[in-house]
Structures are given as structure tokens and as C-alpha cells.
Structure 1
């Protein structure tokens, strides 16, 4: 589906939107629910990724195809490896077979797992023969995707002696690790995270309980961008959010102050309000703890005619696409001068936006949603716009409620 986007006729926005649960929290909670069936989940994400995770967890002996769902690939690898008697082949899209899994597989093998590569060493698809994992100590490089780390931590409560995980080097994406530990604490696991060692205790039994998923801050980021690009006085109310969030992307409420957006925290929702013009100059930020909002921030800077230096982005090379190269290519279509390294993005301020370009999405939901707010400043096209269903199926519908003009081509 190709969409032509243009912004609302009135840039003084007033609206309220309900966003479903965090994909990150949902997938972690679904795995814990599979391990401990007394757990009930409320406000589950309605994303494709969460559906793939839920479906995969229900398979006992067969092919499990998680398509583009990277989180599900990592989490299900650990889950099936620890499930005695389950025998599966875990695979995904073409892009998924190009995303590395070796670090996690080797760690699981150290713990006693039985995993084989079907085609290429270090990459899916993988054949997993589930078994009880007897060992309880393992080490991982610390500068990898936090999903590898969380995958091991989530199955740790089922180990007879818990798990001691040593992280070697500088740790990235710490908030995602803390999210996992926070959810483990909710089910009664004792955890500790000191220096470079994480410990998780065994959990014998979980009494009936409900896990309420907070709405997704990554999804909220696109509305921060919309408010930043709108007129002073614009307000968008989002639910359901809390100030003491487990999600690392909640840092966006602080970062967007530089773009003139104030966040008002209510009992279970937030109000985004444009209170002043953005600070001029070059926006600089280390996003090593929240790399998923890098695309949103870069597009906001483009729309505000600001330059940016975004660092800490090394994990973006192995996402749904190479997000750094994808952003360089697509930002450049609007006339921006962009340079990327293997862990950073640098964009010079731009005087005028080239109109009516066509944005490629690279099978990456965040490419489509990050660029959409730019319709407040110029009209353009987005190719393969349906890719948003990976994390936020209602995105285009919610943009229509704000007055965005969407024409299917």
C-alpha cells in the first residue's frame, strides 16, 4: 500500500488517543505467562510482533515462522531451548535469516542447550531440541542487543539454581534490561544488577496474578514529533502511561523539551503540549539507552530545520533493516546532508524541504511512522505503508483523527 500524506489544515492540534500496550513489555510478559500459566495479561499489544510471539509460544513440535519479529526470534530461541521435549525449527523472513543469532545460541549451548544451524552458521533458521538446562553461569558481550540478555534472563526463573550472567565490556540499552528485571520481580524472582553481573533467582510457583502492560512509549514518540512540528498551543492526550515507566523510550519526555514539547503526567495518561519554539542549533544526544527513537528524532530535526548529531546507535545496523543507511538515504531525498558511521548519524540544518518525494520503508515499521509527522511541513508519499502493523496497526487510523490527509495510491 502506497500512501500520499499531507498534514491537517489546522496545525493547532487538539486530540486524545489510546495506544495499546508496549510491544517490549508484552513479549516479555507472554514468555513469562508461557512459563507460569497463572499469569494473566491486560492491555496486551495488538502488534504483529506480539501476535507472532503468542503464536510461536503455542507450538510444541513444528516449524515456527516469526516473519520480521526480531524480539520473538531471540526470546523464542531461549524459550524453546529450555523446554524439555519441544523440538522446533525457528525461522523468519529473508531479512531475519541475515540477522545474527550466534551470540545467544553460544550462550545457551554453554548452559547445556541443543541447537543446530539449518543453513548458515550464526544465523536463522535454527533447529532446537528442548531440554532442561542444568548450568547456571554464563557470560555475554555487553555491547550487543539487550534482547539477547533479556532472552536469557526471562527463562532464568525456571532454572534449578537460577542464573548468574556476566556481561563483558560496556553495557548498552540498560533500560531494556531493567524492564526485564522489573517484570521478573513482579512474578516473585529475586534479582540483582551490580557492575557487570546480573543474578536471577529460581521461582518455583507463581500464584494467580495480573500483569498490566503500560502503553508503548516508542509509539508515543511519533506524537511527540507531531506536537513538535505543530503550532504552539497544540495538545495531544495519550493513554495509558505512567511517570515511573519501565520503558527506556520514556526518556523522550525529557528530550523533546528541546523541541518545545512539555509532558504533563496525569493519573494514567500524559498530555503533550507545544509550549514554545524549538531551541536553535544542532541537537546532540547519546541514544545508546533508547536507540529505537533515533529515527523519530532525526525526522523531527529535519522538519524543524535543525541539525543533529545522534550517537550510541550501533544496534541499529542489525534491525529490520540497516536503519542508519536507510535513514541516510531517505533523509537525503528531502535535501538533507546526512553522514552516518556504524554507530552515529549526523545531519546538517536544512533550509528548504524537497516536496513530493517517495519514502521507502525497507520492511521497517519505524521508517514509516518516523517520517509520517513530516506531513505537517510538506506532502510526500510512503511506500509499503502497511508495515506499521508490526508494532502499531492503528497508526494511520489515529493520524486521521488528528486531521492528517491520507490518500491511498
Structure 2
């Protein structure tokens, strides 16, 4: 489905939006719930990724296809590796079969797992023969995707001797590692993270409890962008959020102050209000702890005529698409002067936006959603718009609620 987003007639916005649970928290909790059935989950993400995760955890089929769901691929690799007696072929979409998994597979093999590649070495599909894992120490590079590390941490308490992970070199995406450890702590699973060493102790069972998933901060980023581009006085209330968040993307509240957006925290929600014009001519920020919001920030900067230097983006090369190249290509079509490396993005200050440009989404949900706020400036086309369901089922409904007119092409 291709769509045309038309410019808002009234750029002074006042709306209330409810966003479903964090995909990151939900997918971690779904693995933990399978290991500890005592857990009840509320406000679970309705994303395609979480739907794929639930199906994979409930099926008895040998072949498990998780589509585009990268988090599910990584978390399930460890889960099935430690599922004694279960043989599974874990596969996904064409793009998923070109996203690397070797670092995690090697770590699991070091622990005694039995995993083989069905096609290209280092990539899905993989055949996993579930086995009892008793080795309790493993090393893994600290600058890899945090999902590899979290994948190991999620099964660690169910291993006979627990697990000690030594992170080699510089550690990136620490908030996502801490999210996993915080959820373990919430479930009273003993763990520690000191220096470059993480330990998780074995736990046979936990007390029955209900865990309420906080709403997704990555999804909130698009509303921060919308308010940044809206008239002064515009306001959007989002639920359900909390100030002491486990999600690294909660840094949005501080970052978007540069665009004149003020965040007010209430008991179970946040209010985003445009209080003044953008305050910076150039935004320089390291996003190594929150790479998923890079696309949103880059588009906001372009629309607001703010130059930016974004660094810490090395993990964007192996997402649903090469997000740095995709940003470079699509922003250039809109009139931006932009350059990217494997780890960074530089955008010059812009003065005009070319209208009615068709944005390719590359099967990447965040490309579609990051560019949508440009409808507050110019009419814009989004190709393959249904891709947003990967993380945000109601995204286009919520855009219409705000007042953006959407026509199918």
C-alpha cells in the first residue's frame, strides 16, 4: 500500500494518544514467561515482532519462520539452543537471511550448544539441536548488538550453573543490557554487572506476579518529531510512560529540548508541548545507546533547518535495511545535503523541502514512520506504508487522529 500524506491545515495540535507496550520489553518478557510461567504480562506490544515471538514460542513445528523480526531471531536462537531435546530450524525473510547471527551462534557453541547453518555460514536459517548447557562462562565482544548479549542473559537463570559473560573491549547499547538485567531483578533473579563482567545466577522458579509493560519510547519519537514541527502551543499527551524508564530511547525527552519541545511527566503519561522554536543551528549527539531514534532525529533536523552530526550508529548497518544508506538516499531526494559513513551521519542546514517526493521504506518500519512528520511541511508519499505494523499497528490511524489527511495511491 502506497499513500499520500497531505499537509495539515491547522498546525496547532492538541491530542491524546495511547501507544502499546514496548516491543523491546515485551519480547524479553515473552521469553522469560516461557521459562517462568508464573509471569502474567499486561500492556503487551501489538507489534508484528511480538506476534511472531508469541507464535514461535507456542508452536511445536520444526521450522519456525519469524519474518522480519530481528529481535525474535536473536532471542529465540538462545532459547531453542537451551531447550533440551527440541530440534528447530529458525528462519526468516530474505532480509533476515542476510542479517548476521554468527557472533551469537559462536558464543552459544562455546557454551556447548549444537547449531549449524542451513545455507550461508554466519546467517540464518540455522538448525538448532536443543541441549543441556552446563558451561557457565563465555566471552563476547562488547561493541556488538546488545540483542546478542540480552539473548544469552534471558536464558541464563535457567542454565544449571547460571552464566558469566565477559564483554571484550568497548561496550555499546548499555541501556538495552540494563533493561534486560532490570527485568531479571524485577523477577528476583539475582544478577550483577561490574566492569566488563555480567553474572546471572540460576533460578528454578519465581513468585507469581504481573508485569505491566511500559509503552514504547521508540514509537513516541515520531510524536516528538511532530510536535517539533508543529506550531508553538501544540501539545500531545502519550500514555503509558514513566520517568524512570528502562528504555534507552527515553533520552528523547532531553534531545528534543533542542527543538523547543518540553516533556512533562505525570503518573502514567507524558505531555509533549512545543514551547519555542528550535534553539540550535547544529545538533551534535552520540546515539550509541539509542540508535533506533537516529532516523527520526535526522528527519526532524532536516525539516527544522538544523544541521546535525549523529555518531554511534554502527548497528544501523544490520537493521531491516542499511538505515544509513537509506537515510542518505531518501533525504537527498527531498533536497538535503547529507553524507554518511559506517558509523555516522552529517546533515547540512537546509532551507527548502522538495514536495510530493515518494519515500522508499526498504521493508523498514522506522523509515515509514520517521518521514511521516514531514507532512507538517510538505505533501509526501510513503511507499509500502503497511510496513509500520512491524512495531506500531495503529500508526496511520494515530496520524489521522492528529489531523494528517491520508490518501491511498
TM-score normalised by structure 2 residue count? 0.99
For 1:189 and 1:336, locate their aligned partners in 2 and report how far apart those are by CA, in whole Å: 49
Where does residue 66 of structure 2 map in the other structure?
66
Where does residue 133 of structure 2 map in the other structure?
133
Q: How does 1:8-407 map to 2 (within 5 A)?
A: 8-407=8-407
Residues 221-275 of structure 1, C-alpha deviations (whole Å, 9 max, x = no match): 0000000000000000000000000000000000000000000000000000000
For 2:124 and 2:10, locate their aligned partners in 1 and report how far apart those are by CA, in whole Å: 48
Deviation at 1:280, TM superposition (A): 3.2
For 2:386 and 2:173, locate their aligned partners in 1 and report how far apart those are by CA, in whole Å: 28
Residues 347-367 of structure 1, C-alpha deviations (whole Å, 9 max, x = no match): 101111111100000000000
Structure 2 gap ranges (5+): none
For 1:247 and 1:348, locate their aligned partners in 2 and report how far apart those are by CA, in whole Å: 30
Kindly indicate whether the alpha-carbon contact (under 8 Å) linking 1:228 and 1:260 is maintained by their aligned counterparts in 2: yes
For 2:264 and 2:232, locate their aligned partners in 1 and report how far apart those are by CA, in whole Å: 15
Residues 295-330 of structure 1, C-alpha deviations (whole Å, 9 max, x = no match): 000000011011110000000000000000000000
Deviation at 1:59, TM superposition (A): 2.6
Kindly indicate whether the alpha-carbon contact (under 8 Å) linking 1:214 and 1:241 is maintained by their aligned counterparts in 2: yes
SS in 1 for 2:271: strand
Structure 1 gap ranges (5+): none
For 1:236 and 1:270, locate their aligned partners in 2 and report how far apart those are by CA, in whole Å: 8
SS in 2 for 1:158: coil
Deviation at 1:60, TM superposition (A): 3.2
- Change in 2 beyond 3 A, CA 1:291/1:106: same
For 1:47 and 1:61, locate their aligned partners in 2 and report how far apart those are by CA, in whole Å: 22
For 2:170 and 2:210, locate their aligned partners in 1 and report how far apart those are by CA, in whole Å: 35
Give structure 1 regions of 4+ aligned residues with deviation exceeding 2 angstroms: none
Kindly indicate whether the alpha-carbon contact (under 8 Å) linking 1:320 and 1:363 is maintained by their aligned counterparts in 2: yes
TM-score normalised by structure 1 residue count? 0.99
Residues 201-239 of structure 1, C-alpha deviations (whole Å, 9 max, x = no match): 111111211111000000000000000000000000000
Deviation at 1:157, TM superposition (A): 0.6
For 2:282 and 2:253, locate their aligned partners in 1 and report how far apart those are by CA, in whole Å: 19
Kindly indicate whether the alpha-carbon contact (under 8 Å) linking 1:49 and 1:391 is maintained by their aligned counterparts in 2: yes
For 2:8 and 2:30, locate their aligned partners in 1 and report how far apart those are by CA, in whole Å: 38
How many residue pairs get matched?
A: 409
For 2:286 and 2:191, locate their aligned partners in 1 and report how far apart those are by CA, in whole Å: 28
For 1:273 and 1:86, locate their aligned partners in 2 and report how far apart those are by CA, in whole Å: 51
Deviation at 1:61, TM superposition (A): 4.3
Deviation at 1:86, TM superposition (A): 1.0
Deviation at 1:7, TM superposition (A): 2.9
For 1:280 and 1:109, locate their aligned partners in 2 and report how far apart those are by CA, in whole Å: 49
Kindly indicate whether the alpha-carbon contact (under 8 Å) linking 1:60 and 1:88 is maintained by their aligned counterparts in 2: no
For 2:339 and 2:169, locate their aligned partners in 1 and report how far apart those are by CA, in whole Å: 27
SS in 2 for 1:147: helix
Deviation at 1:386, TM superposition (A): 0.1
For 1:8 and 1:404, locate their aligned partners in 2 and report how far apart those are by CA, in whole Å: 5
